Amino acid sequence: MTNGKLNVAVIGSGGREHAIVRKLKSCAGAASVTAIPGNGGIARDVKCVDIDPLDVSAVVRCCMDAKIDYVVVTPDDPLALGMVDALCEAGIRAFGPVKAAAQLESSKIFAKNLMKKYGIPTAEYETFTDSTAAFNFVRKSFASGEKALVVKADGLALGKGVTICMSLAEAESAVRAAMDEKCFGKSGERIVIEEYLTGPEVSVLSFCSGGVVVPMVSSMDHKRALDNDEGPNTGGMGCIAPNPFYTPEIAEICMKRIFIPTIEAVKKEAAPFTGCLYFGLMLTEAGPKVIEYNCRFGDPETQVVLPLLESDLLSIMLACTNGALTPEMVRFGPGAAACVVAASGGYPAMYRKGFRISGIDATESAGAIQVYCAGVKRDGDSLVTSGGRVLCVSAAAANLEQALKTAYRGIANIRFENMRFRTDIGKLALSAVKK
Ligand code: AMP
Ligand code: GLY
């Protein structure tokens, strides 16, 4: 603590963490912000300490040595490993759920069974622990007229554990890959097979504390690698906020039937949820249904949600940790935001790294644009690519059309070899806005 202000650390190394770090830096209550491990781009804003975020005891030790007062734990793996529990045991306050509550994301079977028990709307499903029963189930389903099924690994799988299967052959191959070939390691030893749902998707991140859930502005991710939602699933290629399909009426239904029941259920079944709970929803003809829970801020959702946040992020996070969260604390501006991810050619499959990145400063100096770095590392005086999703160009404006124009104008200044980005981020949302 320095002059009553807090030394804050953010665990993680992506574009999401860059957005959180920048927002926290602007908060009056923050004396310093440190990223663990951060990346070469984040290091231009704050101090980065190169420690593996999966090494829980090393992170705790580092925070104690650096006299960190408050830790924001963002990625799924450290949460599932009990990072928040370990920090609390060491007497360091943290933002994020304890391990038991993080099961909402780290086990799809836990999440599905919880939704079933508490009547929270989601896709119909069965769970399997052996492949013979799973093969029999998919064969029977397609024989009785099912047109599609979704096969999901139970555990964390770097966003690759979900396969949409439009034929029996695809479903059999997804079951084989997860259970017999162990493509996702232990995470695929148990699987969920569920009903295929259709409708616009919405991400709703929410601040949670005990029984209180305060949703942030809604957003829409673009998960497929290529334009027109083609190609394989990725971590997310771009995002817009607010999501025009998420009307106030739908928001009210979600609060009553999904958000509050989830928070109450997880408290009863595991532990009170403190932190950011991400509701991945599909707006089906039968109403909104939960596709997935994430126990953390989304990436790239955060890169469009936080630029619209008008209230003080650190105060909100502390209120979550202290059990003092109220809806009045969380205020968003009236405009819109859009972000476009610049990826390495080949991502999400094989890609090359180490290419020099240029144009970040020119892009940001144009104003109203933020460049959030993800797969970026320092090489001498330069920044070079070091991951699949390299950086994310984000813009806030009075409306979605303007935000998209600005983000695309910004990304046009960024250069690195084999750079690729989607050219249709926000197209579907714009068509809904214009209706
Ligand atoms: P997840 O990894 O759980 O975020 O799932 C990745 C993507 O798969 C989601 O964003 C959806 O687009 C799709 N998906 C997951 N579950 C279903 C489902 N039951 N029906 C249709 N699409 C789904
Ligand atoms: N954008 C999807 C996620 O953060 O999981």
Q: Residue 173 sits in a domain of what CATH number?
A: 3.30.1490
pLDDT at 356 over 70: yes
CA distance 253 to 232: 32
294 lines ligand 2 (CB under 6 A): yes
Q: Is residue 296 part of a domain?
A: yes
Report CA(280)–ligand 1 centroid distance (Å). Answer: 9
pLDDT at 339 over 90: yes
Read off the tokens for 13.
């190394």
Q: Is residue 117 part of a domain?
A: no
221 lines ligand 2 (CB under 6 A): yes
CA distance 262 to 362: 44
Read off the tokens for 213.
């859930």
- Reported as a pLDDT band with limits 50, 70 and 90, residue 158 is confident
Mutate to test the pocket of ligand 1, among 107, 124, 150, 221 (most ligand atoms within 8 A of CB): 150
Give the pocket of ligand 1 (CB within 6 Å).
123, 150, 159, 162, 164, 194-197, 201, 223, 233, 280, 291-292
Helix count (H) and strand count (E) of the chain? 15, 24
pLDDT at 190 over 80: yes
CA distance 255 to 244: 17
Domain boundary among the residues 151, 166, 189 is at: 189
Report CA(67)–ligand 2 centroid distance (Å). Answer: 31
Average of per-residue pLDDT across 285-289: 97
Residues 338, 373, single domain; the answer is yes
Residues 182, 211, single domain; the answer is no
pLDDT at 157 over 90: no
Number of domains in the chain: 3
pLDDT at 435 over 80: no
User: What is the predicted pLDDT for the residue at 214?
Assistant: 98
Helix (H, G, I), strand (E, B) or coil at 80: helix
Mutate to test the pocket of ligand 2, among 203, 222, 340, 389 (most ligand atoms within 8 A of CB): 203
Q: Is residue 366 part of a domain?
A: yes
Mutate to test the pocket of ligand 2, among 152, 221, 305 (most ligand atoms within 8 A of CB): 221
Average of per-residue pLDDT across 150-169: 91
- CATH number of residue 21's parent domain: 3.40.50.20
Q: Amino acid letter at 409?
A: R
Average of per-residue pLDDT across 227-243: 94
pLDDT at 396 over 80: yes
Domain boundary among the residues 189, 216, 236 is at: 189
Closest CA to 291 of 213, 196, 177: 196
User: What is the predicted pLDDT for the residue at 366?
Assistant: 77
68 is in which domain, residue-wise?
A: 7-95
Helices 99-106, 260-269: crossing angle, 10 deg rounding: 120
Read off the tokens for 20.
């959180």
Residues 335, 404, single domain; the answer is yes
User: What is the predicted pLDDT for the residue at 209?
Assistant: 96
Report CA(434)–ligand 1 centroid distance (Å). Answer: 27
Nearest-CA residue for ligand 2 atom 5 is 298
Query: Across the chain, what does the average pLDDT equal?
Result: 96
pLDDT at 3 over 80: no
Q: Is residue 125 part of a domain?
A: no
pTM above 0.85, yes or no: yes
CA distance 89 to 399: 45
Report CA(289)–ligand 1 centroid distance (Å). Answer: 11
Average of per-residue pLDDT across 349-362: 96
- Reported as a pLDDT band with limits 50, 70 and 90, residue 4 is confident
CA distance 194 to 122: 9
236 lines ligand 2 (CB under 6 A): yes
Residues 309, 370, single domain; the answer is yes
Nearest ligand to the CA atom of 164: 1
Read off the tokens for 321.
């940790």
298 lines ligand 2 (CB under 6 A): yes
Q: Count CA within 13 A, CB hemisphere, residue 203.
A: 26
Residues 91, 134, single domain; the answer is no
Q: Which helix (H) or strand (E) holds 162?
A: strand 162-165
CA distance 257 to 122: 11
User: Which percentage of the chain shows pLDDT scores above 70?
Assistant: 100
Mutate to test the pocket of ligand 1, among 105, 126, 164 (most ligand atoms within 8 A of CB): 164
pLDDT at 426 over 70: yes
Read off the tokens for 9.
């650390």
Angle at 50 between CA 45 and CA 53, to 5 degrees: 105
Least confident interval from 1-15, 115-129, 310-324 = 1-15
User: What is the predicted pLDDT for the residue at 133?
Assistant: 96
